[in-house]
Structure 1
Amino acid sequence: MLLSACGASAPTRYHTLLDTPSGAQASISAKFFIDVLPVSIPAQVDRPQLVVRDGGGVLPLEQERWIAPLADEARAALSADLSRELGATDIAGQPRPVGARVLTIRVDLRRFESV
């Protein structure tokens, strides 16, 4: 007698915090410049999988993953939203334009939940 089993695992789904892909580059015509620094994330959610609360603890969802590290996703989403809403250009990682106003933004996420 021969027994065999074939199991299919659930497909992995990827998530992002960005509304749309951002290809914005620094522009001389920007009203002002922002420098969004790397975002710090709580250790319990700083992982590739989405994490949900399970009673008193947390549970990583293996098949639900971030498309990029969560800290990178948070920084990119914040940069894109601020650039769009304020008419600013994020110059993170680039030389500061001479004589330009640059607002430096630092974010420390202490709690991350969605509803």
Structure 2
Amino acid sequence: MTFLTRLACAGALALSTAAVADTDKSQPDLTPCPADFYSVAMPGDAMQCQKFDDEMPASLVFHSPKNQQQLIAWYQNAMPDLTVISQYNGRTVLSGASDNVRVVVSPDNQGAQVDLLIIDSLLAQQ
């Protein structure tokens, strides 16, 4: 299963889970945004963080008021090993040479959404 297929499945699962959640809730379950996620840097303006998995592969989604191009530049500056490996349907996928960290940046209203996928935490920290 390709990364984008898994990401689409995770998004669909998140939407279906939200649909069957308690209807009295007006907001999804959010956690405070950490400074980093398995040694992957997080911009200081990250908000609305949602963790989907703590075990490998681990994933976290957040929103930033930065636009898509600003976030891509921010991640490439913070982690010079990241390069654009794919652009599809408005989404840009960044990955390191070891392919253990993937960053997906998508436009999202007034800013962008970032999906972090950590394939292997030991290699992600290097």
TM over 0.5: no
Higher RCO (CA 8 Å, separation ≥ 6 residues): 1
Q: Which structure is larger by alpha-carbon Rg, 1 or 2? A: 1
Pick the structure with more strand per residue.
Answer: 2
> Normalising by structure 1, what TM-score?
0.26
Pick the structure with more helix per residue.
Answer: 2
